[in-house]
Amino acid sequence: MILVLAITLSVFLVQIIGAFISKSLALLADSGHMLTDATGVAIALLASIIATLPANSKRTYGYLRVEVLAALANGIVLGVIAVVIFVQAIARFGSEVEVQSTPMLIAAVIGAIANLVSLLILRSGQKESLNVRGAYLEVLGDLLGSVAVIVAGIIIAFSGWMVADQIASIAIALLIAPRAYSLLRDVVTVLLEAAPKDLDVDAAREHMLAVPGVVEVHDVHAWTITSGVPAFSAHVTITDDSWSERGYHAVLDELKACLMEHFHLEHSTLQLEPESHDIPGLRSHD
């Protein structure tokens, strides 16, 4: 990600210079988006480092949630950038700003090539981390934004139709907005401690009930600590015979193995209760 950050900052400098020389709002919008991406990648990199700090008695999960907070910041900034670009593009309609297509095209092409390289670097990790996914989506949006600027530059070069610059700016804003929404939606899902989207809680309960000696599974909770780290807890009632003869530890081992094999849950907390201890009225609802 350090390489991606270096590439992004370099392209930002090229595009911001090109934007002032060409007077292109679309290129300025793309450079502003690029700066936001550089900030996002820097935050993601810092969050990844902080997340490796060990847990302690006050922060029992360590700093794993720092990644989620960084992704939240990225999503908010992306949303703000989209709104600002859209408003500025609308305000510029009717103006007589003459856009220079040559520096506009040169900067946009350099940006497109650099973004393509960054995408290839981030591609493998974007399914495993919210932050890497956020950075991947931002760079993808940059690439599409650069393509929009290139198309606008070509139109201006051959037809002199300056409105193409504003249209490209609006297109960039419309590219950013859905990505901001998608990232914020995933972050909010984690912060609300909803069940991971790839975990079927009902199916997990049914698998646990199929373990010999298990008669009931209740107080089931599933949530995500951070990207790729789901957590699961439940109270499990087992027969008195299984508790005394088979041994609760054997049932516990089988339950954890079941959750690991079928649902890839490495972090599960299970409270086993003998059937005779299952007193009606004291049990919490699901």
134, two tokens: 């956020």
**Domain residue limits, the chain:** 2-191, 201-277
Give residues with Cβ within 8 angstroms of 137, minimum separation 6.
126, 179, 182, 183
Architecture of the CATH domain 201-277: 2-Layer Sandwich (3.30)
**Cβ–Cβ < 8 Å for 150, 142:** no
pLDDT confidence band for 103 (50 / 70 / 90): very high
Of residues 24 and 67, more confidence is placed in: 24
Give the residue among 139, 120, 114 at the shortest CA–CA distance from 40.
139
- Which residues partner with 267 through β-bridges? 231
pLDDT confidence band for 283 (50 / 70 / 90): low
CATH topology of domain 2-191: Alpha-lytic protease prodomain-like (1.20.1510)
Distances, alpha carbon 5 to alpha carbons 10, 37, 109, 124, 138, in Å: 9, 8, 19, 17, 12
Give residue 281's pLDDT. 52
pTM: predicted TM-score of the whole model, two decimal places: 0.75
Give residue 75's pLDDT. 85
Residues 87-94 have a mean pLDDT of 83
Percent of the chain predicted with pLDDT > 70: 92
Residues 162-182 have a mean pLDDT of 87
User: 3-state class of 273 per DSSP?
Assistant: strand
2-191 and 201-277: same fold? no
Give residue 125's pLDDT. 64
